[in-house]
Structure 1
């Protein structure tokens, strides 16, 4: 399975990439939504793990744009919650089409389940 990770925090990106590689997934990373969209268009991943709260464009924009690009791609939204807490943000992500919505920190078992459900 090919998985794209879109995360602006380098430590979290590395953590997610390491976990996914241990699960034998092919992984490509992006530090922004724009780069993530480019990867989706060219590499055509089976799944994307996308951070919701990022500085330029957020993960909600990504979810909206990719629903029309690749409707078979599984989207896992993640967030630490920020000032609002994670509940409302993850609920919005699910409402926009994310297949799973997870709160950081994320462990391998939870991530594996989110990518394989459905």
Structure 2
């Protein structure tokens, strides 16, 4: 069962997709902490210690894999990696994220039910 008193960092470089994902997180009963860059997301995680993070993997500068590797002791309890995969396809990219420590993966376009399942421990 999802809890309504937990924060979720949402990392996505596309502003419209970030807004959409934050809305989905809110609809699931969490408080979203939106971030458009890895550095912004890491700062939010260090300041707020959110319960979970939903992170896009493929981004122009630093990507979601960098985010996972740079978390260190500030790692949220749950890390959900999302990707459409670009030219590599989502499977390979999300498999790399799992190998680096993501707890769950979701293929874009993200459906609410897939996100709900990914955020369940």
TM-score bracket, shorter-length normalisation: over 0.9
Q: Which residue number corresponds to residue 98 of structure 2?
A: 94
The structural deviation recorded for 1:73 is: 2.2
Structure 2 equivalent of residue 28 of structure 1:
33
**Which residue in 2 is equivalent to 1:37?**
42
Unaligned segments of structure 1, at least 5 residues: none
Corresponding residue for 2:8?
3
Which residue of 77, 86, 105 maps to 2:109? 105
CA distance in 2, matches of 1:99, 1:113: 11
Residue by residue, what CA displacement relative to the aligned partner does 1:23-64 show, whole Å, maximum 9, x if unpaired? Answer: 110111000000000000001100000000011101001111
Q: Which runs of 5+ in 2 are unaligned?
A: 1-5
Q: Which residue of 1 aligns with 2:82?
A: 78
Distance between the aligned counterparts of 1:70 and 1:100, measured in 2?
A: 18
Q: TM-score, normalised by structure 1?
A: 0.94
Distance across 2 between alignment mates of 1:85 and 1:6: 20
- Compute the RMSD of aligned alpha carbons: 1.0
Structure 1 residue 69, shift from structure 2 partner: 2.1
Equivalent residues, number: 116
Q: Identify which of 53, 58, 62 aligns with 1:53.
A: 58
State the distance in 1 between where 2:76 and 2:43 align: 17
